Amino acid sequence: MVVTGYLKDRTLYLKLSGEMDEYSSREARARCDKLIDDNVNAKKIIINLSEVAFMDSTGIGFLIGRYKKAARLNVPLYVQQPNFAADKILNLSGIYSLIPKAE
Amino acid sequence: MSKNYLKLQFYSYPRNQAFARDAVAAFCLELNPSLSDLSDVKTAVSEAVTNCTVHAYKNECGMVEVECEIEDNKLHIKVSDRGAGIADVKKAVQPFYTSLPSDERSGMGFTIMQTFMDEFSVESVYGEGTVVYMSKSFNPEVENA
């Protein structure tokens, strides 16, 4: 799983690409957390899921972990463009009440 | 449609999770699944196999067995391990229950298997292992554009 990030207008955009499972999430966690730590002046974090081809329940745990980290920094977290399958899992978990979908 | 059968045996290494779900997905292609059904099966298998790695064998190496059978338009999947077993299955299958809350686990694995497949059951003997049964029927008329 590849994680890329950039800061624009004080919004930190994190893009995940590849398959999100228990195996691949380990590195993605560390990578995302480093990008969040390196951009503490961000006012908002948006995780883009458009290139996540597969996601199981690991994705829920992953997002909740990043949500907690962002909440400690007082920064709201959003997700963007989950594919049909990822959307199904995220809906089932009710996670959108914590981490809303951004346009 | 005639019967078909597949048996996979592999070590519970995390890197085998993708292999297992992709192999099962490839096996059920003869049922002409919709992309959505295929994705449901992959996700359910991923959950079951991940449980073997994380819970049954607690990241130690153990043997995981995945058996699949196609009968008419129905896919049956059996995922078994000889690991730790589950002390309280009723509790384990509850949404959001996890025995490892500190690990960023969602506790949604069994709920996803239940929701994404038509039939689901778990048999477990504490200290001896766990078997998950799942099945799903496919509509033979579906055409993927």
The pLDDT tens digits for B121-144 are 999 999 999 999 999 999 877 666
Place of tokens 């799983």: A1
Handedness of CA B42, B44, B49, B53 (dihedral sign): positive
* Chain A residue with Cα closest to B22: A54
Give, in degrees to the nearest 5, the angle at Cα B19 between B21 and B106: 55
CB contact under 8 A, B46 and A23: no
CATH at residue A65: 3.30.750.24
Which residues in chain B are contacts of A89 at CB distance < 8 A? 43, 108, 112
Q: Can you give the pTM of this predicted structure?
A: 0.94
Q: How far apart are CA A12 and CA A29, in angstroms?
A: 15
B4-137 is classed in which CATH architecture? 2-Layer Sandwich (3.30)
- Write down the domain spans for chain B: 4-137
Which pLDDT tens digit goes with each residue over B10-40? 999 999 999 999 999 999 999 999 999 999 9
Active site residue B21: no
Nearest-CA neighbor of B73 among B46, B33, B107, B104? B33
CB contact under 8 A, B46 and A61: no
Residue A46 neighbours by CB under 8 Å, 6+ apart: A11, A12, A13, A14, A77, A78, A79, A80, A102
Residues A71-81 have a mean pLDDT of 97
ipTM score of complex = 0.92
Question: By residue range, what is the domain housing residue A41?
Answer: 2-97
CB contact under 8 A, A57 and B106: yes
Best of A20, A57, A67 to disrupt the B interface (most B CBs within 10 Å) is: A57
Tokens coding B110 = 């069994």
Round the CA-based radius of gyration of chain A to a whole number and report it: 12
